[in-house]
Structure formats: structure tokens, C-alpha cells
Chain A
Amino acid sequence: MTLLLEMLSPDFLLRHALYASVAIGFVCPLVGVYLVLRRLVFLGIALPQIAAAGIAFAYLLHTVGVHLYPHQEEEQPMALTGSILFVVAALIVLATLERRGRGMVEGRVGAIYAAAAAASILFVAANPYGESTLLSLLRGEVLGVSLSQFWGTIAVYGGIAACVLVLQKEFTFVSFDREMAMTLGKQVVAWDLCLYLIIGLAIAFGVMTVGPLLVFGFLVVPPLAARQITRGMWPFSLAASGIGGATALIGFYLSLRWDLPLGPTDVAVACVILGLVTAGQVVSNWLRRV
């Protein structure tokens, strides 16, 4: 209890890390609901890995002397640029192939995931300096989040949350019934692009802050839990977001309490919540039948 009160105190030493991870916990599921509903969960695994490959590539360029941002401390901005560029490029490639309707979606996403995972390791291996720093960045360095990173995270995720909530009806409409949306004059390609860009941004920034594992966990597990206990898109989105935020808070507490790595702890908490919700549903259905 003392630890919890300390965590919630405004003077808490790791408050920026706590607030950043809770913000990501609240916002990632808002985006993740569309990955779950569009049955693109596998994309939720692949994109964080692609973001990680982008970070590793940017660090490699930095190490060999290619500088995008001269005259400033540029590791973080360069890594972020790499993360965003790789994710956006992957989304454009996937969207283009999907429009042409060639091959299997799962096959394409799987191949890109394999390529990104291999590329991340190869970029790290090819980097003669800072391997440990880079590896910790790829795992997520939320505890070491700087003040500028913290405000950047709040601004980006606040913007993403606002966009997803304001545009929820459009995103839901074009996802649920593309053909009806077209007959009513909606620009479905533009809305798809907008949604994918938001997903890409959320993942690119999230991977920089908390790592690919936790981003994937926040994107997918809370929506899967919320889907079972809600009816209606607003309750679904808000419940998913609430579960994500609560997961981040509980995970942070458990991580501090027992000195556990934050990312895996958060994902484990999310999975326990999903398990409890599923068990509750099974029992509830059984009681209804009896």
C-alpha cells in the first residue's frame, strides 16, 4: 500500500515512466480494437517488429556516420524517424498488395514479420558500438524516459486518442461494411489510409518507449478481453482502453514491488485479466443454461 501511495505521489521518482506507460496503456487498445475487429491481429505482431528493425537501422546509420539531424543530440530522433519510416513503408506495401488482391494477407504479413525480425538482429550485429544500449532500447526503456520524451509521448498519444475517438464512426463504418460506406459516398481508401497511419504512429512511438512486446500486448489483449463483456462500439473501445490503462498501472506496481521487468509483467497482467474475463464468461454462460 505504501508503495502504491508513493507511486501515485507527484514527487515519485519514476513518475514520468509511470505516466508514459499508463498513457500508452490507455491509447494502444483504442487503436488495437480495429486490428482485432478487422482480424489483423498478426499485423499487431509484425508492425512493432518492423518498428524495431527501423530503430536498429537508424542506429546503424548513426554509427557509420550518416546523420539526419546534425548539431544536436540525435540518437533518439533518428531512431524515431527510422521507426516511423519503416512502419509507414510496410503499411504502404501491405495496403498496395491488399488492393491488388494478390496472395494471402497472412502470408504477406508473416513474411514481413520474419524479414523484420531477421533485419533487427542483423542490424544490431552489424553495429560495432552500443549493442547493449540498442538491445535495451529494442526491449523498451520506459524507466529511463526523459522529460522531453515524456511530453512527446503524452502529446502524440493524446493526439492519437483524440483522432480515434472523434473518427470512431467512420473507422467502424468502413471496417464493418466497406460496400455500404462506398454507396453513401465515403472515401474508404482515404479512411483506411488514415486508420493505418494512426496505427503506424501509435506503434512507432510505442516501440521507442516500451518496446515491441508491450506494444503488441496493449494493442491486442485488452480489446480481446473487452470484446467479451461489452455491446456497442463506444463501450467496447472505452472498456479496452480502461483495461489497458489498469494493466499498465498494476504492471508498474508489480514490477516495482518484486523487481520484475516492466514489459513482460504488463503483458502477463493483461493476459491474467483476459483469462479472468474469459472464465467469467464461461461460468456466466453455464449458469444461464442451467
Chain B
Amino acid sequence: MSHSILIRLSGACLGHNGTLVLEGVDLQIARGSFVGVLGANGSGKSTILKTIVGILPVLRGQLEFPTGQPRFGYVPQRDTLDSAYPLTAFEVALMGTYGKLGPLGFIQRAMRERTMEALAEVRAEGLADRLFAELSGGERQRVLIARALAADPDCLVLDEPVAGIDQATVEVIMDLTSALHQRRAMTVLMVSHHILSLRGRAGEIVWIADHGLISGPAELMLSKEKIEEMLMSGGG
């Protein structure tokens, strides 16, 4: 596994709509690592993710990609997607391939095949013809991960992928993400509320508290003492 730096934030101030959420952020994410991002509600976990993938601008400081601009596979929070759309699971997953398509480009057979492969990779090929809005939380999450994979990403970025899902499905989603990370040697950046579900899966943990962050190896950051310390300081 290469340990070259894929993403680097230096002295960065992050926020949205002119509101500063995090300041002085210094963070390096190594290629091929699995990084879990923890923190209390409103602490800025999603803000970090959205800034890294380019949804939000860096307010001050620098965001760099030392080894070149990576392709991101972004899995948004499930609840942000409106169920009014009569899209099938296949159509949703197919959107992952649109990055390769020009404005007037037509969908090619290869893009459809890639989408079916991605669905199969997350064991969701049987959901292809069903309405996305009618799927369960766990099924939707698998389709969204398939959509991210269809983009052939260098870095899989997941924003609260297991929020509002029962514990059994949490384990399925986490195992699936972990397997993808190992099988593809893909960088994974995951925001989660489920502290314990990251144990044994994430290699690095970034913990956000008090408008800043601390990071370190998962064994240290997810130790009982550290978790207690962070929870007491309002970081969880």
C-alpha cells in the first residue's frame, strides 16, 4: 500500500454560506488509507468532506492534491435525496458514470455495463429495476455506494452512510466498505456517528471538536480512554 499523500489541507478555514465552521485545519490523507471522521452534530464533519470533494470552497488556507486531482466517489447523506423522483436504482447508479460524459454525450453500453458491475459489487444487482424511493435505507445506501463506484474513484467519500439504519444493516454496510477498501486499495473517507463501527475497519481517525481537529491511528483514537476524553470535551 502506497503512503503518498492524496489530500492535504494546510491552515485551512472551512465553512459554508459565509459561516466559519472550522479554522486552522491541518490534515493529510494518505493514498489507500481508511479514515473515519468523528464529531458531534454540527461540529463540521460534513463540511470537511464537502470541501475536499469540491462542493464547498476553502475559505482561507490551502487544499492540495499532491499526486494530482483524484476522482471522488461521493456518497451523500441518504435523506438529502428527494423521493419524489421516479428513478430506478439503476438510473441512480448510472449517474456515477456521468463524469465521463460531455454535455451532449449519449449514454454508452460500456457505461451501462460498468453500472451493473458496480451494483453487483455491492450485491445490489437485483435492485436495478426497482424504484429508488421504494428501497429500504440499507438498500438505498448500497445503491449509492454502487453509484460512487461507477465513477471509478480514487477516493470513496461517505457522509453518514449508516445514519438511521438498524444495527445489522450497519454491519453489512461497514463490512462492504471495508471489503472495497481492501480489495481495491481505495482511499476511504467516512463521516460517521457510529464510533464503534469504525473500530477494526478504519486505520486513521479524525476527531473534530472545538472548531479544530485532532487525528491519529485508530487503535489510539478509538481506545476507551480517548473516547471518554473526547465525549467529555464535547467531541462526540
Please pick, from A184, A231, A236, the residue contacting B98 in the complex, using a CB distance under 8 A: A184
Residue B50 interfacial (CB < 8 Å)? yes
Q: How far is the CA of A171 from the CA of B126 in the complex (A)?
A: 27
Closest to B99 in A: A184
Residue B79 at the chain A interface, CB threshold 8 Å: no
A55 CB, min distance to chain B CBs, angstroms = 32
Number of A-B contacts (CB under 8 A): 73
Stretch at the interface among A109-117, A175-183, A266-274: A175-183
Contact between B98 and A173, CB atoms less than 8 A apart: yes
A140–B50 Cα distance when bound, in Å, is 48
Counting CB contacts under 8 A, is A96 at the interface?
Answer: no
Contact for A236 among B74, B86, B95, B157, CB less than 8 A: B86
Chain A interface: which size bin?
Answer: 20 to 34
Which residue of chain B has its CB nearest to the CB of A166? Answer: B104
Q: Verify if B180 is at the interface (C-beta below 8 Å from A).
A: no
Nearest CB of A to B133, in Å:
9
A92 within 8 A of B: no
For the complex, is B81 an interface residue (Cβ under 8 Å from A)? yes
Q: Given the complex, which residues of B lie within 8 Å of A189, measured CB to CB?
A: none
Closest residue of A by beta carbon distance from B77: A179
Q: Which residue of chain A has the shortest Cβ distance to B105 in the bound complex? A: A169
Residue A36, interface by CB 8 Å: yes
B50 close to A179 (CB less than 8 A): yes
Q: How far does the Cβ of A225 sit from chain B's closest Cβ, in whole Å? A: 12
How many whole Å from A179's CB to the nearest CB in chain B?
5
In-complex Cβ contact of B86 among A101, A181, A227 (8 A): A227
The answer to whether the Cβ of B225 comes within 8 Å of any Cβ in the partner chain is no
**How close is A165's CB to chain B, nearest CB, in angstroms?**
11
The reply to whether B131 and A179 contact each other, CB–CB distance below 8 Å, is no
- Cα of A236 to Cα of B74 in the assembled complex, Å: 27
CB < 8 Å: which of A39, A166, A232 contacts B87? A232
| B54 at interface, CB cutoff 8 A | yes
Known A-B contacts A101-B17, A177-B95; A183 and B103 likewise in contact (beta carbons under 8 Å) = no
The reply to whether A180 and B87 contact each other, CB–CB distance below 8 Å, is no
Asked if residues B82 and A185 are in contact (CB atoms below 8 Å), the reply is: no
Q: How many angstroms from the CA of A166 to the CA of B99 in the assembled complex? A: 17
Determine which residue in B95, B104, B107 has the highest number of CB atoms from chain A within 10 A of its CB, and name it: B95
A38 CB to nearest B CB, Å: 8
With A185-B99, A231-B131 as contacts: A179 and B80 at CB distance below 8 Å:
yes
Beyond A39-B84, A177-B80, A177-B95, 14 extra complex contacts between A and B, CB < 8 Å: A39-B82, A172-B85, A172-B87, A176-B85, A176-B95, A177-B81, A179-B74, A182-B54, A183-B54, A227-B86, A231-B88, A232-B91, A233-B85, A233-B91
Closest 7 CB pairs of A and B: A184-B99, A183-B74, A183-B53, A236-B86, A183-B72, A182-B55, A179-B55
Chain B residues close to A by CB (< 8 Å): 17, 50, 53-55, 72, 74, 76, 80-82, 84-88, 91-92, 95-96, 98-99, 101, 103-104, 107, 129, 131, 147, 151, 157
16 pairs from A and B in contact (CB 8 Å cutoff): A37-B84, A169-B107, A172-B85, A172-B87, A175-B85, A176-B95, A179-B74, A180-B76, A182-B54, A183-B53, A183-B157, A184-B151, A186-B98, A231-B129, A233-B85, A235-B86
